[in-house]
């Protein structure tokens, strides 16, 4: 009797053991463990990054560039060849016993090194969940055979210190990207050639790029005026506007040999002089950085 019972128990245990590999085989989970979890930051006045390596899977990366908004990407090691859908959920850690899992959103993935496209709203939500100690996790079918369930989690270990550094960098980014700055417009009040606060902010950005980017060889300053007044008067006024900009740039360390100055009076309007708005656009200095 005892032998028969033992045989039944052994058979039961064997059956359970036989089912475990099948269950595990259908699940792939990627996450940095507590010892390997690391968040790295790079900082400058033109770009801030916050990156996290997910072992055997890829890299999660938050980044923000000058004049741009936050973006989030995931670069994968195994590039998918097919399209599909994924779900992003926020998973509470073990110590948050009373916190529920919440769905952050759905997204699609496609072929390529960066298969996932994250909208800005979702990128901000993921960053906020990490700050709250949650584990944002992607769920999807295997990118190729779509059979195995895959989950990819972002670890919160060592996150907060890196986030503080990243946010400090973000607050110090230049207000405009290079594509905007290399063709910058400054505007002036009627019959004036002094720099307004907004013009100084824009001009400081131009100066910063000229110092940061060795490829920028020169800057051409072009002064303009609206249609009111004679040609000789507006020639003088547009020249004074251009000179004011040049002198400010020199005071901030830009060599005069790198600055070209031109003025056009009222000869090259950017907009119609029939409206106040149009005239305001014509009272300008254009700065073109040349590489």
The pLDDT tens digits for 166-184 are 999 999 999 999 999 999 9
Which one, of 241, 253, 161, lies nearest residue 207 by Cα? Answer: 253
Q: What length does the chain have?
A: 291
21 CB-near residues (< 8 Å, 6+ apart):
none
CB distance 40 to 51 below 8 Å: yes
Residue intervals in the chain for CATH 2.60.40.2540 = 27-171
pLDDT at 20: 35
Secondary structure (3-state) at 171: helix
Average pLDDT over residues 227-254: 98
pLDDT-derived band at 16, boundaries 50, 70, 90: very low
pLDDT at 18: 35
Q: Is the pLDDT of residue 106 over 70?
A: yes
pLDDT at 21: 37
pLDDT-derived band at 65, boundaries 50, 70, 90: very high
Range in 140-149, 153-162, 179-188, 279-288 with the lowest mean pLDDT: 140-149
| Separation of alpha carbons 178 and 180, rounded Å | 5
Overall fold of domain 27-171: Immunoglobulin-like (2.60.40)
Q: Is the pLDDT of residue 2 over 70?
A: no
Average pLDDT over residues 60-82: 91
274 CB-near residues (< 8 Å, 6+ apart):
none
Place of tokens 């700050």: 131
Average pLDDT over residues 140-164: 85
Superfamily of domain 178-290: OmpA-like domain (3.30.1330.60)
CB distance 186 to 199 below 8 Å: yes
For the chain, the C-alpha Rg in angstroms (whole number) is 30
The pairing of beta strand 183-187 with beta strand 284-290: antiparallel
pLDDT-derived band at 12, boundaries 50, 70, 90: very low
pLDDT at 69: 95
pLDDT at 110: 84
Q: Is the pLDDT of residue 92 over 70?
A: yes
Q: Is the pLDDT of residue 257 over 80?
A: yes
Average pLDDT over residues 23-31: 70
pLDDT at 144: 59
pLDDT-derived band at 143, boundaries 50, 70, 90: low
The pairing of beta strand 47-54 with beta strand 183-187: unpaired
Secondary structure (3-state) at 30: strand
Range in 17-31, 43-57, 163-177 with the lowest mean pLDDT: 17-31
Q: Is the pLDDT of residue 15 over 50?
A: no
The pairing of beta strand 47-54 with beta strand 39-43: antiparallel
Cross-strand partners of 268: none
CB distance 92 to 137 below 8 Å: no
pLDDT at 166: 98
Residue intervals in the chain for CATH 3.30.1330.60 = 178-290
Averaged pLDDT score across all residues of the chain: 89
pLDDT at 40: 97
């Amino acid at each position: 009797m005892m032998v028969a019972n033992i045989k039944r128990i052994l058979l039961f245990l064997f059956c359970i053991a036989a089912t475990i590999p099948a269950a595990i085989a259908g699940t792939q989970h990627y996450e940095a463990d507590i010892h390997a979890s690391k968040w790295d930051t790079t900082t400058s006045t033109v770009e801030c990054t916050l990156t996290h390596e997910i072992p055997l899977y890829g890299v999660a990366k938050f980044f923000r560039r000058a004049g741009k908004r936050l973006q989030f990407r995931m670069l994968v090691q195994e590039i998918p060849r097919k399209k599909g859908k994924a779900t992003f959920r926020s998973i509470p850690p073990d110590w948050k016993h009373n916190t529920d899992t919440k769905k952050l959103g759905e997204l699609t993935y496609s072929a390529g090194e960066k298969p996932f496209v994250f909208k800005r709203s979702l990128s901000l939500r993921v960053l906020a969940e990490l700050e709250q100690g949650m584990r944002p996790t992607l769920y999807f079918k295997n990118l190729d055979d779509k059979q195995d369930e895959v989950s990819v989690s972002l670890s919160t270990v060592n996150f907060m210190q890196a986030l503080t550094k990243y946010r400090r960098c973000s607050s110090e980014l230049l207000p405009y990207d290079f594509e905007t700055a290399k063709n910058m417009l400054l505007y002036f009040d009627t019959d004036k050639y002094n720099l307004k606060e907004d013009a100084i902010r824009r001009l400081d950005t131009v100066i910063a790029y000229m110092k940061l980017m060795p490829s920028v060889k020169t800057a051409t300053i072009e002064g303009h005026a609206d249609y009111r007044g004679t040609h000789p008067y507006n020639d003088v006024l547009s020249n004074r506007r251009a000179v004011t900009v040049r002198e400010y740039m020199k005071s901030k360390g830009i060599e005069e040999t790198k600055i070209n100055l031109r003025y056009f009076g009222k000869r090259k309007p950017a907009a119609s002089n029939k409206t106040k708005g149009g005239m305001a656009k014509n009272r300008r200095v254009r700065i073109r950085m040349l590489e």
